[in-house]
Structure 1
Amino acid sequence: MAGRRMAPVAEDRYTIDDLCAELEPRLDADSLERIRRAYAFGARAHEGQQRLTGEAYITHPLSVARTVSELSLDADSIVAALLHDVLEDTSVPRERIEADFGETVARLVDGLSKLTHLSFNSRAEQQAANFQKMMLAMVDDIRVVLIKLADRLHNMRTLGVMPVHKRHRIARETLDIYAPIANRLGINTLKHELEDLGFAALYPMRYRILSEAVRRARGNRKELMQKIEIVMAERLHQEGLDARVIGREKPLYSMYRKMREKHLSFSEVFDKFAIRVIVDSVDTCYRTLGLLHNLYKPVPGRFKDYIAIPKGNGYQSLHTALFGPHSIPIEVQIRTADMDRFAESGIAAHWLYKSRGDDSEHPLKTHGPAREWLRSLLDMQQSTGSSVEFLEHVKMDLFPDEMYVFSPRGDIYKLPAQATVIDFAYAVHSQIGHTCVAAKIDRRLSPLSTPLHSGQTVEVVTAPGSTPSPLWLNFVVTAKARSAIRHYLKYQATEEATEFGRRLVRRHLDRYGMTIDDIEPDRMQRTLTEFGYRDADHLWIEVGLGNRLPSQVVKRLVPEDRAAATQENRDKPGVEPVLLEGGESMVVSFARCCRPIPGDNIQGFLSAGKGVVIHRASCSNVADYRRRPDKWLPVEWAPDVDGEFSACITVEVMDRRGVLARVATLISDQDANIEHLEFEDRDRMTSVLRLVLSVHDRVHLARIIRTLRQLPAVMRVRRETR
């Protein structure tokens, strides 16, 4: 945030005296004195720095502290807000802040400071690393992100002085990350203002058009809404209920997003204006709901009970829609005063701390939903490989739309919209996600990729030994599921690459009558140093992934005298081939040009990053690969090879009704799956089906082909290679 040092200094309007006057009713004299000292400290540190608005730089930390104060946070938070840019933009060290204001304030300020002392390959990587640092600091102390949201809010309020490209970038980042974080923490006051400011900066023309339309609609509806409020309040008071009835306008960005996502015109948005009813207890909420449904007819299918089942951020309220006078739909929210305070302030309303005689000791005790989200952030951090990947997962985790599904025991699970069975399985437990093989939705078997809907009961079927499939990444929605699957696949690939690389090196060492245990430690260390690897496992991984040829490695590991003595054996054909057992899925791939299956004569080709690519010996590409014998690898199927393999067949059929269904049924009856199907009309009498099947081996494929040839409508069946 340094570098804003141009334009004449503008006169300050909001002062430290104003801040302290607002804080005086709830903070003691010592705390107020610390806040004044922090302001003076920050003013000296930022002396000479200006914002693009022309104001002295200290006006920014002061505005951030004001917002933090409005969230009712403690003195440490306000002090940290006043100092939040000191470490990043000045030469003041962390130790100085800790000595003057305590370890807690120093930790908060450090969590808010960017990683300016490290180098990054790109701006995206730097942004992701800074974001990851802030989020992990938030896990330790939620006040970090609350101060950051206040910081972002003031920057958005003064965004107009920025160049257009910077305005757009900051506005997009606000809408994609910071407003959803405010929503995830339930702080609607910050969320709505961040969204509207981001909307105005990113789409200024749309913002002006929509705000003008709302202004005109407000004039037409104002009198009607006031009458409805009066009628509701009178009816509730007649029944002896102590209630406040308040009208509200839907925030502009929320309205714009609803119009865009549901393809609605402005006139079709019925909740532009809504009514909030604040009562004294949960019981009164439900009584109020009944009275209002008697007063105005409810709109079918528009009732939501967020009191019985709160949103993921802890929000609670009853939502309903009513047909008001002239059949105008009215959105109504019914909640208690405590629920209303939480709806506006979110986690800040749960700011509970125990004073121990020193303002530096105020440990935050977060409520359930926030604590669960923070725990999920830690899980994501542990299973992601980079800060960019971490940022991607957090963005996925900030979905505002939720649904609720049930386990067979009746437990409720909150999931984002469009979540699948796999997402549900990982929400229950990571191990259940790893081993799931099938699912029942409302007692009916369903594919694992099936999107779920609120109210469904989901039963996951697991099988010991089952593992996640890379294909799951194509349809999972939740960050937890995606990061867990990636972490497992990465670990599995590492394990397989280590073992496979060791097998390849062992096979080449056999030519010299050596084993891995015979390698001299000094020679191994020299080889590792030459290649830049930290240990032997790293070397085996690189060999297993095809990034390092086993012949190159063995040439350096074998002593010169042993190599010379066995020169004639080193190039002798007929060396023991590598056996494929079917469990090397991460380091062995099967060429799509010829689709080899167990029983075929095969050859292996070492490919960087892919490990070994297996071809049929008769494949036309084998001739090209043979020109590079150093990368060629003799391979064979193990006697007990296990797994499913892809094979392609072409079926010529007479063009008759139902022939495709008959072919698919026969293939299914032979315990095979159709992975892909292409259909081509050859002429008016015949058609050609090209099918990619999952089979066990050549015997299995031959049985399928033999069965298909018995169909009267089938003219020819052959295995295809491309």
Structure 2
Amino acid sequence: MIDADDLLSLVRNYNPKTNEALLRGAHAYAKRMHEGQKRHSGEPYFTHPVAVAAILTEQRLDDATIATALLHDTIEDTKGTYTEIETLFGHDVAELVDGVTKLTNLELSSRESKQAENFRKLLMAMSKDLRVILVKLADRLHNMRTIRHMVPEKQAKKAHETMDIYAPLAGRMGMQWMREELEDLSFRVLNPEARTSIMRRFVTLQKESGDVIPRITEDIETVLEKHGLKADVFGRAKKPFSIWRKMQEKDLAFSRLSDIYGFRVITGTEDDCYRILGAIHQRWRSVPGRFKDYISQPKSNGYRSIHTTVSGRDGKRVEVQIRTRQMHDVAESGVAAHWSYRDGVRVQNPFAVDPAKWLEGLTERFENAEDNDEFLEHVKLEMYSDQVFCFTPKGDVVKLPKGATPIDFAYSIHTRIGHSCVGAKVDGLRVPLWTRLKNGQSIEIITAEGQTPQATWIDIAVTGRAKAAIRRMLREEDRERYIKLGRELARVAFDQVGKKATDKALDTAARAIGLKDGAEMLARIGSAELSGRSVVARIYPELARQNADSEVEAVRAVIGLPPGAEIRRAQCCQPVPGERIVGITYAGRGPIVHAIDCGALAAFDATPERWIDLHWTDGRHAAVHNVTIDVTLSNTNGALGRICTLIGEQNANISDLHFIDRKPDFYRLLIDVDVRNAEHLHAVMMAVELDSDVASLQRFRDVERRP
């Protein structure tokens, strides 16, 4: 266990002016509070908070954060209280400890909607003081380092939570080293066989070719010395999870994988960074498409560096990152660099990002999410995204996630530009809207008045902002269409009972159902959430009862059923009066009535004893026999409403609508219609088919549909 003197020594290495009394007091208080508690490993529990504090000293963080690390479990797991901590260690530390406690209580690995709700809370906690999440990340890192002592089920739960949330969050904050370690520790739990396999291949590779890292490091140092450039060169093999992910993404075997080694060149000035880049490219051939200049176009978390991949010794691809010392400090600490100390004073690093501005940039894209699933989608897109930098025709820079399309670019400029987008030019050439944008491209968006988003854009767009704007616009358009359709369906339903669907009647029915107004009710009828028949029943219950009585009469519409049996029509063929029918018996329940030409009857050829000869009664039947028709309709204004009117004019009721395929020019839907008999059905279908916007019409039959 790290004692107070050892911890203070770690802090003094970067902050000789540390508040020794504060840290000794926090160390002693936490040790006393956790006295007698054990970890899963059997070690004293206090080894954990002190290890978390030690991890944060590597980031050279301030005294309040180190004290919070020592105390972060006292409110949650001991008799310690917020008031006591505030009295002993001050308001700042007490607020930080309380924030970490609230984060600890969030179950971030639960079902999606709850996860999204808790992610909102996590971001709210971060917005108060980002140091809360720094302590929580260090806490999670130490827990993952010692996870082997937990039961397998809890290991898997923690590993999934870490991989899904904490690792990408660390990366988004610029703490790439922590992201890589968290991912690899989770990988060890979730897929130990794959990790072991990669480690074995590394060992085999080293036996065959030796340790290439010192040799390539020496090669780079020789080149720099030749050009009179001073810099420190560090090399390393990439983490097993990073290699495995690349193998999965590119579908490559380990033997075909390149650039599994990475090198960092740290120099004094920005000018030297570009000189070193030139020297390296003179010596080795660069790999096309693998150059990124994050110095001229830094990431939002302050990250600056030049990345290039070259074919080095023996043709091996190696990635080289070139940066200054100040850039490297931010690359290691990310947003945490804002609180870093050196020689007892806060480091004035020109590349450190203001945490408040960073968090505002992170969350502004989430504000328009209208439900939990949409919010969680936005968060994960932001957390996992790498960036590309594109230019407007005027030369302004637009930052987008990797894989973004012209649609994302259009919406990043303005929602109005996105909605009216009809095309795009990339570097002067017209390209499809699904084109993936690359670094440095110039994008021109072509717009047209009257254009609106297409449903297919949701699958093309990558950014949460674009997806949210598209969905919102489509919902508004759908609502208007559903209201128009619902009005037609309501009119037909009211006509069935001899009443008019006036605005007053609709508002009265809406209030009876518990909706705010008639428009909301019409929208729900149009989207098939409500039926016109159920609305009529709310305000004309006696008429609805008479209709129900006519449906009861339909039970007696078939002759040949066993005594007491009710008519049960097969949904595969939906027979109606006027069609030849047969019954199939089932043990323990009445027979099912099929049309004689139903394809499903072939399954009963070997059991003729189950067949019953049935036929419909003569005379007029009530319009209660539901039949599904399959309509392909032109996607033009008013077409669907006109079809509903045509069906109503034939005195047939529409009981349900279901869209099964939508395209910009046509859509296909299933309409459930209540008819009297085969002749009535024929009249309905004839009236619909004669409409010029109907491309095809047929009775829908499916042998997979069961009664």
| TM-score, length basis structure 2 | 0.69
Per the TM alignment, residue 394 of structure 1 is displaced from its structure 2 partner at its CA by: 1.4
Per the TM alignment, residue 367 of structure 1 is displaced from its structure 2 partner at its CA by: 2.0
Task: Give the 3-state SS of the residue equivalent to 2:39 in structure 1.
Answer: coil
Matched with 1:446 is 431
Q: 1:546·1:612 contact (CA, 8 Å) conserved in 2? A: no
Matched with 2:236 is 248
Matched with 1:205 is 193
Per the TM alignment, residue 277 of structure 1 is displaced from its structure 2 partner at its CA by: 1.9
Worse overlay, 476-485 or 185-194: 476-485
Per the TM alignment, residue 457 of structure 1 is displaced from its structure 2 partner at its CA by: 2.8
> Separation in 2 of the partners of 1:320 and 1:120?
37
> Separation in 1 of the partners of 2:449 and 2:257?
50
Q: 2:490·2:501 contact (CA, 8 Å) conserved in 1? A: no
Matched with 1:625 is 674
> Separation in 2 of the partners of 1:279 and 1:622?
71
In the TM superposition, 1:630-645 aligns within 5 A as none
Q: Does 1:71 align with 2:59?
A: yes
Extract unaligned runs of 5+ from structure 2.
551-627, 663-667, 678-683, 700-707
Match of 1:137 among 118, 125, 134: 125
In the TM superposition, 1:567-646 aligns within 5 A as 593-597=630-634, 598=639, 602-603=646-647, 624-626=673-675
> Separation in 2 of the partners of 1:546 and 1:87?
52
Per the TM alignment, residue 219 of structure 1 is displaced from its structure 2 partner at its CA by: 5.5
CA, structure 1 residues 488+55, in 2 after alignment: closer, same or farther (shift >3 Å)? farther
> Separation in 1 of the partners of 2:672 and 2:316?
76
> Separation in 1 of the partners of 2:187 and 2:479?
45
Match of 1:377 among 355, 363, 379: 363
Deviation per residue, 1:654-687 (Å, 9 max, x gap): xxxxxxxxxxxxxxxxxxxxxxxxxxxxxxxxxx
> Separation in 1 of the partners of 2:537 and 2:105?
42
Q: Does 1:53 align with 2:90?
A: no
Q: Does 1:289 align with 2:326?
A: no
> Separation in 1 of the partners of 2:313 and 2:489?
80
CA, structure 1 residues 603+207, in 2 after alignment: closer, same or farther (shift >3 Å)? same
Per the TM alignment, residue 70 of structure 1 is displaced from its structure 2 partner at its CA by: 2.0
Q: Does 1:340 align with 2:384?
A: no
Match of 1:270 among 251, 254, 258: 258
Matched with 2:420 is 435
> Separation in 2 of the partners of 1:417 and 1:469?
22
Matched with 1:644 is none
Deviation per residue, 1:176-205 (Å, 9 max, x gap): 332222222221221121122122222212
Match of 1:165 among 128, 133, 153: 153
Task: Give the 3-state SS of the residue equivalent to 2:632 in structure 1.
Answer: coil
Q: Which amino acid aligns with 2:424?
A: A
> Separation in 2 of the partners of 1:620 and 1:518?
29
Per the TM alignment, residue 23 of structure 1 is displaced from its structure 2 partner at its CA by: 1.9
CA, structure 1 residues 221+245, in 2 after alignment: closer, same or farther (shift >3 Å)? farther
Match of 1:20 among 8, 11, 16: 8
Matched with 1:661 is none
CA, structure 1 residues 73+544, in 2 after alignment: closer, same or farther (shift >3 Å)? farther
Matched with 1:418 is 403
In the TM superposition, 1:117-128 aligns within 5 A as 123-128=111-116
> Separation in 2 of the partners of 1:66 and 1:547?
58
Match of 2:453 among 468, 476, 495: 468
Percent identical among aligned pairs is 39
Per the TM alignment, residue 280 of structure 1 is displaced from its structure 2 partner at its CA by: 1.0
Task: Give the 3-state SS of the residue equivalent to 1:73 in structure 2.
Answer: coil
Q: Does 1:406 align with 2:391?
A: yes
Q: Which amino acid aligns with 1:367?
A: V
Task: Give the 3-state SS of the residue equivalent to 1:380 in structure 2.
Answer: coil
Q: 1:312·1:369 contact (CA, 8 Å) conserved in 2? A: no
Q: 2:287·2:309 contact (CA, 8 Å) conserved in 1? A: yes
Per the TM alignment, residue 124 of structure 1 is displaced from its structure 2 partner at its CA by: 4.1
Extract unaligned runs of 5+ from structure 1.
1-12, 360-364, 572-590, 629-634, 636-646, 649-696, 702-717
Q: 1:544·1:611 contact (CA, 8 Å) conserved in 2? A: no
> Separation in 2 of the partners of 1:536 and 1:87?
53
> Separation in 2 of the partners of 1:624 and 1:459?
49
Task: Give the 3-state SS of the residue equivalent to 2:295 in structure 1.
Answer: coil
Q: 2:62·2:340 contact (CA, 8 Å) conserved in 1? A: no
Per the TM alignment, residue 243 of structure 1 is displaced from its structure 2 partner at its CA by: 1.6
> Separation in 1 of the partners of 2:236 and 2:129?
34
Q: Which amino acid aligns with 1:406?
A: F
Q: 1:509·1:516 contact (CA, 8 Å) conserved in 2? A: no
> Separation in 2 of the partners of 1:502 and 1:516?
10
Deviation per residue, 1:567-594 (Å, 9 max, x gap): 9xxx9xxxxxxxxxxxxxxxxxxx9811
Aligned residues: 585
Matched with 2:337 is 349
> Separation in 2 of the partners of 1:513 and 1:623?
22
Q: Which amino acid aligns with 2:376?
A: L
Per the TM alignment, residue 602 of structure 1 is displaced from its structure 2 partner at its CA by: 3.1
Q: Which amino acid aligns with 1:398?
A: M
> Separation in 2 of the partners of 1:185 and 1:115?
17
CA, structure 1 residues 613+91, in 2 after alignment: closer, same or farther (shift >3 Å)? farther
Task: Give the 3-state SS of the residue equivalent to 1:438 in structure 2.
Answer: strand
Per the TM alignment, residue 153 of structure 1 is displaced from its structure 2 partner at its CA by: 0.6
CA, structure 1 residues 122+620, in 2 after alignment: closer, same or farther (shift >3 Å)? closer
Q: 2:116·2:376 contact (CA, 8 Å) conserved in 1? A: yes
Deviation per residue, 1:474-493 (Å, 9 max, x gap): 23222222233334444555
Per the TM alignment, residue 260 of structure 1 is displaced from its structure 2 partner at its CA by: 2.5
Match of 2:382 among 394, 397, 401: 397
Per the TM alignment, residue 160 of structure 1 is displaced from its structure 2 partner at its CA by: 0.8
Worse overlay, 176-185 or 343-352: 343-352
> Separation in 2 of the partners of 1:133 and 1:330?
41
Task: Give the 3-state SS of the residue equivalent to 1:54 in structure 2.
Answer: coil
Per the TM alignment, residue 168 of structure 1 is displaced from its structure 2 partner at its CA by: 2.6
Q: 1:299·1:321 contact (CA, 8 Å) conserved in 2? A: yes
Q: Which amino acid aligns with 1:452?
A: L
Task: Give the 3-state SS of the residue equivalent to 1:245 in structure 2.
Answer: strand
Q: Does 1:154 align with 2:142?
A: yes
> Separation in 2 of the partners of 1:120 and 1:538?
35
Worse overlay, 56-65 or 546-555: 546-555
Match of 2:224 among 236, 251, 256: 236
CA, structure 1 residues 420+305, in 2 after alignment: closer, same or farther (shift >3 Å)? same
CA, structure 1 residues 31+162, in 2 after alignment: closer, same or farther (shift >3 Å)? same
Matched with 1:84 is 72
> Separation in 2 of the partners of 1:67 and 1:327?
38
Q: Which amino acid aligns with 1:63?
A: A
Task: Give the 3-state SS of the residue equivalent to 2:337 in structure 1.
Answer: helix
Deviation per residue, 1:540-588 (Å, 9 max, x gap): 6655654445665677679x9xx99xx9xxx9xxxxxxxxxxxxxxxxx
Q: Which amino acid aligns with 1:593?
A: D
> Separation in 1 of the partners of 2:185 and 2:138?
13
Per the TM alignment, residue 17 of structure 1 is displaced from its structure 2 partner at its CA by: 3.7
Task: Give the 3-state SS of the residue equivalent to 1:625 in structure 2.
Answer: strand
Q: 1:547·1:609 contact (CA, 8 Å) conserved in 2? A: no
Per the TM alignment, residue 159 of structure 1 is displaced from its structure 2 partner at its CA by: 1.2
Task: Give the 3-state SS of the residue equivalent to 1:173 in structure 2.
Answer: helix
Q: Which amino acid aligns with 1:375?
A: G
CA, structure 1 residues 83+517, in 2 after alignment: closer, same or farther (shift >3 Å)? farther
Matched with 2:555 is none
Per the TM alignment, residue 233 of structure 1 is displaced from its structure 2 partner at its CA by: 2.7
Q: Which amino acid aligns with 1:625?
A: D
Q: Which amino acid aligns with 1:460?
A: I
Q: 2:65·2:131 contact (CA, 8 Å) conserved in 1? A: yes
